[in-house]
Amino acid sequence: MDPSAPIQERVTDLLSKMTTEEKIAQLAAIYLMGDIGEEYSKTGLGWTVFPGSAQKRNDMQSKIMQSSRLHLPLAFTEESLHSSVEGGTVFPTPVLQGCTWNTSLVTMIASSIALEASSVGVDIGLTPVLNMFTDPRFGRHSEGFSENPTLSAAYAKAAVAGYQGDNGTGPLSYLDHSKHFVSLAKHYAAYGNAAGGQNAGPSHFDMQTLFDIYLKPWQAFAMHGGRGAMASHQTVNHLPCHGNPYLVNSILRETFGFGNGSITSDCNDISVLAQYRIAANATQAAAKGLQGGVDIDSMCGHDPSLHSYNRLGDALSDGLITVSDIDTAAGHILAGKFALRLFDEPLVNDTAPSVLNTPEHQMLAYEAALQGMTIAKYPTGQWPPIASTGDAYIAVLGPNGGCPDEESSFEIGELAGVNLEHGAEYAQSVSSPSRSSSAASHCDAQTNMAGPNSQYGDVDIKTVATYLKEKVNGSTGRVAYSRGCEIGNSSTADLEKALQLAANATHVVVVVGDSLMSYGEWHDRDSLDLPGGQLKLIEQVKNVTKAKIILVVTSGGPVTFGDKNAVLDMADYVLIAWRSGQMGGVAIGDAILGHAEPTGRLAQGWPRNVGQVNGASSPWLQQIRGKWVANARGQTVDPDGRRYDDYKGSLSTPLFPFGYGLSLSEFKFDALKATKTGDEKAPLMVAVDITNTGDRDATQVVQFYVQDPVLPWVPYWKRLIAFDKVFLKKGEKRTVSRAVDWLDLSLHDTHLEQRIMPGVYTVRVGDCSNTDVLTTTITF
């Protein structure tokens, strides 16, 4: 109980005082319903889910510490992917954050989420998601930052710095729990690539692909002090991740340096080892999970009997595990509790009113939404889409454009604010965290926002229609809204009204996308086309209007637009806005009106159709594919020289390549340099001069790539090694220099040794993955 003692000494001392039963109880994470119950009242318990308020949390903590023999505290977990507690700020989803290409912004978002969560006593945030969802059919796509390993690794480092605020000191250092929490990343490993694009489907890789692509963000997370990890549901090369001592113990803990961090299962997965038939019964499953490196059996529902590690006593008696195995796992859980000061300061002061959803956090959410929104199409020299509103008649259409009570004609004029309990599909798509909810009928539950009875108040959002009305109505211009169609079905009940508005409009804004019920956890898709009646809506609008069509896509992942993507061609402007958080409607409105600059670049390539998934352009960093492409007989050539063998009747190039996004100005690249530094951690420095040669101030994302030397295996076409986001005034010139991390330049050889391969590297720079403005070479 000495708060100044090293954490490992305190853990060792406490373990020496605990019974085996008490140690095993630390390996359980149970949903408690306000009552500790007899099962854990005397032994204590590992983790439970945050009960919703600081007062409830303190009551629960006091009860278990008073009743347990050694006064062992609980740790409280909460989903915290891009929001956390009720009444907290709802930031854009990670898929949009990834498109910001701004690691500092991601750190600030993570720090804000941790501050809000800590204010009410959340100890462990189940975040970030480090999976690279390389198959866009997978419904959880919005939870990941990018399909690219270098970009994802950079965000892993940025996020853990914000959540934990500990400068990467690791699991055996104390944490400032007044502002930060333990970052528990999900889902180790390779959860984003699943057979058929289905949740928990098996993953199969050669080992070099597994290490260089799918494990790279985890290596960065561990190297920079990540303290928690959740093992994923699925199998990797035929072995479940939550029963895989090689991946968990040998690689994550030892090779990557995760060490004494805590590892949890997901959704009672330990018992599933028996269903996988790699364990004969529940006792064997518990033993395999523990020896596989999983410290705590988590997400076990409300029934303690579902806790698989209750069988560890039997496993110990049967000789399947040792006391040392139990001590190791319990030691990891207790180390986390000591680091959080739960033994020293078990109760929290409720500071939520002063930190939840502050104006500063709202502005950060707004800025993130703008920096992740990507301009995919606009007529040259014609931005913004709505340059003047004085005599504008703007029709906002689409199921994600507004709420039902905003349906109106041009004559109605400005409407009041929106009640959060309306417009569920819009809120799910634009503002929703990627988390499960049983209350699908209420927007507040779907969006992790506070309901009318919340202790911490409501979080308001504005739809695109609401915000445009505020900005335009009252002048001589007018804004009207109609859904026009549905996401979940092909109903055309609202189509006629929408077309009437479009026919009389000077500008048509069509806000389309998806919802959590059409694309989310356990809602995988076998089509990437816009669901419901949205394609038909766009087609019909094109037929009746002479106005410019501004298409805003608010989705959780890449989408397609019908046969040969012909519907996309009907739009004059395309803005990819993703699920953009509580300030998304405001940010979209400001972008359309030209009040702010959308500066996103895609962090994943978009396929032309579902048949292209995992083809030559998915993911974009493919190896040279096949003899015909290798000997330069590929039919389609990218600007960077990459060739594709097309499908019959369809191109193989992506609809939008990785790194794509249009700027509002023109930029010139000059004087690319690559220099060895002699620094083992950052062995290469790359630099380029960039000049804004256009007629307006604007932002550009500078992307550095490398082509590897001759290798004993077929290399990738090229790899991202560094990037920077710069704002330049018209005529301004700047030198952009970036140090290249060893992790980003190295590869695993056929023996899985990670090193920088010797030879001549070609360094390339440009503003997208498929274009190179300048190249140079350097030898290692």
**Residue 103 φ then ψ, to 5°:** -70, -30
**What's the pLDDT at 659?**
97
pLDDT bucket at 457, cuts 50 / 70 / 90: low
Same domain, 298 and 245: yes
What mean pLDDT do residues 585-605 have? 97
- The answer to whether position 352 is within a domain reads no
- The answer to whether position 600 is within a domain reads no
Q: In 10 A of CB 244, how many CB atoms? A: 24
Cα–Cα distance measured from residue 317 to residue 182, given in angstroms and rounded to the nearest whole number? 34
Is residue 688 within 8 Å of residue 709, measured between CB atoms?
no
CATH number at residue 193: 3.20.20.300
**What's the pLDDT at 419?**
25
**Residue 30 φ then ψ, to 5°:** -120, 140
Nearest C-alpha neighbor of 511 from the set 595, 580, 432, 601: 580
User: Cα 385 from chain centroid?
Assistant: 29
- The answer to whether position 218 is within a domain reads yes
Task: Please give the mean pLDDT across all residues of the chain.
Answer: 91
Nearest C-alpha neighbor of 401 from the set 488, 508, 505: 508
**Is the pLDDT assigned to residue 440 strictly greater than 60?**
no
How does pLDDT run across 209-224, given as a tens digit for each residue? 999 999 999 999 999 9
% of the chain beyond a pLDDT of 70? 92
In terms of phi and psi (left: phi > 0; alpha: psi -120 to 50; beta: otherwise), the region of 688 is: beta
User: Cα 565 from chain centroid?
Assistant: 26
Least confident among 70-74, 109-113, 436-440, 457-461 = 436-440
- The answer to whether position 26 is within a domain reads yes
Instruction: Considering only residues 120 and 194, tell me which one the structure prediction assigns the higher pLDDT.
Output: 120
Nearest C-alpha neighbor of 116 from the set 337, 339, 362: 362
Does the pTM surpass 0.75? The reply is yes
Nearest C-alpha neighbor of 28 from the set 265, 320, 256, 257: 265
What is the helix, strand, coil percentage profile of the chain, to 5?
30, 20, 50
**Is the pLDDT assigned to residue 416 strictly greater than 50?**
no
Is residue 395 within 8 Å of residue 508, measured between CB atoms?
yes
CATH number at residue 474: 3.40.50.1700
What would the two tokens of residue 218 be? 């985890």
**What's the pLDDT at 431?**
45
Same domain, 612 and 582: no
How many angstroms separate the Cα of 41 from the Cα of each of 22, 34, 44, 509? 11, 12, 6, 58
What would the two tokens of residue 725 be? 């986001």
Same domain, 534 and 619: no
Bridge-based pairing state of the strands 124-126 and 75-79: parallel
pLDDT bucket at 475, cuts 50 / 70 / 90: low
Cα–Cα distance measured from residue 729 to residue 109, given in angstroms and rounded to the nearest whole number? 27
What mean pLDDT do residues 94-112 have? 98
Alpha helix segments (H runs only) across 413-494 = 424-426, 443-446, 464-472
CATH number at residue 731: 2.60.40.10
**Is the pLDDT assigned to residue 428 strictly greater than 80?**
no
**Is the pLDDT assigned to residue 427 strictly greater than 50?**
no
Same domain, 535 and 643: no
Q: In 10 A of CB 677, how many CB atoms? A: 12
Residue at which a domain ends, from 316, 341, 366: 341
Is residue 692 within 8 Å of residue 729, measured between CB atoms?
yes
Cα–Cα distance measured from residue 486 to residue 488, given in angstroms and rounded to the nearest whole number? 6
pLDDT bucket at 616, cuts 50 / 70 / 90: confident
Residue 116 half-sphere exposure toward CB, CA atoms < 13 A: 28
What mean pLDDT do residues 140-166 have? 97
Nearest C-alpha neighbor of 745 from the set 716, 714, 713, 774: 716
Same domain, 736 and 722: yes
What would the two tokens of residue 780 be? 């290692």
Angle made by CA atoms 308, 310, 314, in degrees to the nearest 5: 110
Cα–Cα distance measured from residue 29 to residue 497, given in angstroms and rounded to the nearest whole number? 52
* Residue partners of 35: CB distance under 8 A and separation at least 6: none
- The answer to whether position 99 is within a domain reads no
**Residue 232 φ then ψ, to 5°:** -85, 160
Three-state DSSP at 760 gives strand
DSSP 362-409: HHHHHHHHHHH-EEEE--TT--SS----TT-EEEEESTTS--GGGB--
Is residue 240 within 8 Å of residue 207, measured between CB atoms?
no
Same domain, 527 and 437: yes
Same domain, 288 and 395: no
Residue at which a domain ends, from 283, 312, 341: 341
Nearest C-alpha neighbor of 365 from the set 78, 661, 728, 100: 100
Nearest C-alpha neighbor of 282 from the set 302, 244, 311: 311
What would the two tokens of residue 410 be? 């041009």
How does pLDDT run across 306-320, given as a tens digit for each residue? 789 999 999 999 999
Cα–Cα distance measured from residue 539 to residue 543, given in angstroms and rounded to the nearest whole number? 7
- The answer to whether position 108 is within a domain reads no
For residue 296, the one-letter residue type is: I
Bridge-based pairing state of the strands 262-264 and 239-240: unpaired
Cα–Cα distance measured from residue 387 to residue 472, given in angstroms and rounded to the nearest whole number? 12
% of the chain beyond a pLDDT of 90? 82
Which 8-state DSSP code applies to residue 523? Answer: B
pLDDT bucket at 441, cuts 50 / 70 / 90: very low
**Is the pLDDT assigned to residue 243 strictly greater than 70?**
yes
- The answer to whether position 103 is within a domain reads no
How does pLDDT run across 262-303, given as a tens digit for each residue? 999 998 899 999 999 999 999 999 999 999 999 999 866 667
Same domain, 242 and 383: no
Cα–Cα distance measured from residue 149 to residue 748, given in angstroms and rounded to the nearest whole number? 14
Same domain, 654 and 765: no
Cα–Cα distance measured from residue 582 to residue 664, given in angstroms and rounded to the nearest whole number? 26
Is residue 647 within 8 Å of residue 656, measured between CB atoms?
no
Same domain, 673 and 657: no
Same domain, 649 and 672: no
Is residue 111 within 8 Å of residue 62, measured between CB atoms?
no
**Residue 593 φ then ψ, to 5°:** -85, -5
Cα–Cα distance measured from residue 227 to residue 173, given in angstroms and rounded to the nearest whole number? 10
Same domain, 403 and 322: no
How many angstroms separate the Cα of 730 from the Cα of each of 380, 536, 596, 667? 17, 41, 16, 9
The beta strand positions in 245-304, using DSSP E, are 262-264
**What's the pLDDT at 379?**
96
- The answer to whether position 102 is within a domain reads no
What mean pLDDT do residues 358-378 have? 98
**What's the pLDDT at 414?**
29
Provide the residue range defining the domain that includes 634. 605-662
Cα–Cα distance measured from residue 656 to residue 634, given in angstroms and rounded to the nearest whole number? 19
Number of domains in the chain: 4
**What's the pLDDT at 165?**
97
For 381-408, letters b (16+ CB in 10 Å) and e give eebbbbeebeebbbbbbbbbbbbeebbb
Cα–Cα distance measured from residue 729 to residue 734, given in angstroms and rounded to the nearest whole number? 10
Cα–Cα distance measured from residue 8 to residue 335, given in angstroms and rounded to the nearest whole number? 7
How does pLDDT run across 33-88, given as a tens digit for each residue? 777 777 788 999 999 999 999 999 999 999 999 999 999 999 999 999 999 999 99
Residue at which a domain ends, from 313, 341, 369: 341
**Is the pLDDT assigned to residue 430 strictly greater than 90?**
no
**What's the pLDDT at 434?**
33
**Is the pLDDT assigned to residue 748 strictly greater than 50?**
yes
